[in-house]
Amino acid sequence: MDLFLQTLLNGLLIGGVIATFSIAFQLTFGVLHVIDFAVGAWVVLGGYLAYYMAAFLGIDGFLVMPMAFVLFGAIGYLMGPMIYNVRNSRTARPELMALALTFGIFTLLRGGMLTVWGFNTHSVPTALSGHSIMIGPVTVPLIRVAAASFAVLIAGGLFFFLFRTRYGLAIRATAENRQNAALMGVNIRRLSANVYGLYAGITAMSGVLMGGIYSVNPEIGLRYTLFAFFVAVLAGLGSLGGALVAALLLGVIEAFVATYGGASYSHLAIFATLFLVLLVSPRGILRRGL
């Protein structure tokens, strides 16, 4: 029973961790209609920022998070128009062009990091790293709790922003029908840049947490890209609430299969779940995707 409770908690926390970089990914798809392969690279860049801040200036990972948001938010804002232009170009199949573009950005960033920072693996120290508390028989790792709380906070914040503010209304209108939104006076180009900036900033912040929980090296970005994509498929592309539910579900499946079945089957179980969901409910588990 103790192991069961621990496994359940492990699963929920893994889900929370995955959700941190999957939610904003969904937002980008919903608004820009781009599957951003570069998501993993933004995560890793955030991790590197935190690593260098800690190594040279001794700044704690949690304090780097606002910095990561501002820095990578600005970079994302500047890159937004480029992605928007490719996605809305008059060439044939602009959606595939955009996919290739983000894949190119991912490869470029990964190669750039490998060249500049080398291949060694680093770890981001935070105030909560390695600390845990006992609740009954269950060990609760605090940094993972922080990551899961961050995911819930981001999801809540985005919901509030999208459904309770005027700008959020404009974003939702753009996601629904770009032409009509433009006719209503929404500056689609600037809105897209803002959304991409918001996404890059949030994702880099989650990268700081990933560096604290796991480790940072240029090659691990692909892993985050894949998981963000798994979550997106399970949630239904573009569905924010679905992303949180899907990430938690994936985490719980991974934990239970690894503990009671064997860790080598955990990804098999994840793929089987994805396959079934695509077969039964192609618009995701909450049926709210595109």
Give residues 177-236 in contact with another protein (rule: CB under 8 A). Answer: 213-215, 217, 219-220, 223, 226-227
* 20 binding another protein? (CB under 8 A): no
Write the burial class of residue 91 (CB in 10 Å: 0-12 exposed, 13-18 middle, 19+ buried): exposed
Write the burial class of residue 107 (CB in 10 Å: 0-12 exposed, 13-18 middle, 19+ buried): middle
- As measured in angstroms, the least distance from the Cβ of 96 to another protein is 26
Q: Of 220 and 246, which has the nearer Cβ to another protein?
A: 220
Cα 32 to chain centroid distance, Å, stands at 16
Binding-site string for another protein from residue 70 to residue 109, where x marks contact by CB under 8 A and - marks none: ----------------------------------------
Residues in contact with another protein, counted by CB under 8 A, come to a total of: 47
Binding-site string for another protein from residue 24 to residue 43, where x marks contact by CB under 8 A and - marks none: --------------------
Length of the chain: 290
Distance CA 122, CA 99 (A): 30
Give residues 116-155 in contact with another protein (rule: CB under 8 A). Answer: 118-123, 125, 129-132, 134, 139, 141-144
Q: Of 62 and 227, which has the nearer Cβ to another protein?
A: 227
Looking at 88, 107, 259, 281, which residue binds another protein (CB under 8 A)? Answer: 259
* 112 binding another protein? (CB under 8 A): no
The CA–CA distances, whole Å, from 132 to 56, 64, 141, 158, 185 equal: 27, 22, 4, 29, 51
Q: Of 196 and 224, which has the nearer Cβ to another protein?
A: 224
Distance CA 290, CA 16 (A): 23
Distance CA 114, CA 187 (A): 38
132 bridge partner residues: 141
- As measured in angstroms, the least distance from the Cβ of 231 to another protein is 14
Looking at 228, 231, 248, 255, which residue binds another protein (CB under 8 A)? Answer: 255
* 258 binding another protein? (CB under 8 A): yes
Q: Of 103 and 161, which has the nearer Cβ to another protein?
A: 103
Main-chain phi, psi angles of 22, to 5 degrees: -95, -25
- As measured in angstroms, the least distance from the Cβ of 14 to another protein is 5
Show the beta-strand stretches assigned E in the chain.
132-135, 138-141
- Name the DSSP class of 56: I
Distance CA 82, CA 68 (A): 21
Assess contact for 106 and 41: CB atoms under 8 A: yes
Q: Of 218 and 289, which has the nearer Cβ to another protein?
A: 218
Residues that bind another protein (CB under 8 A): 2-3, 6-7, 10-11, 13-14, 17, 114, 118-123, 125, 129-132, 134, 139, 141-144, 213-215, 217, 219-220, 223, 226-227, 251, 254-256, 258-259, 262-264, 266-267
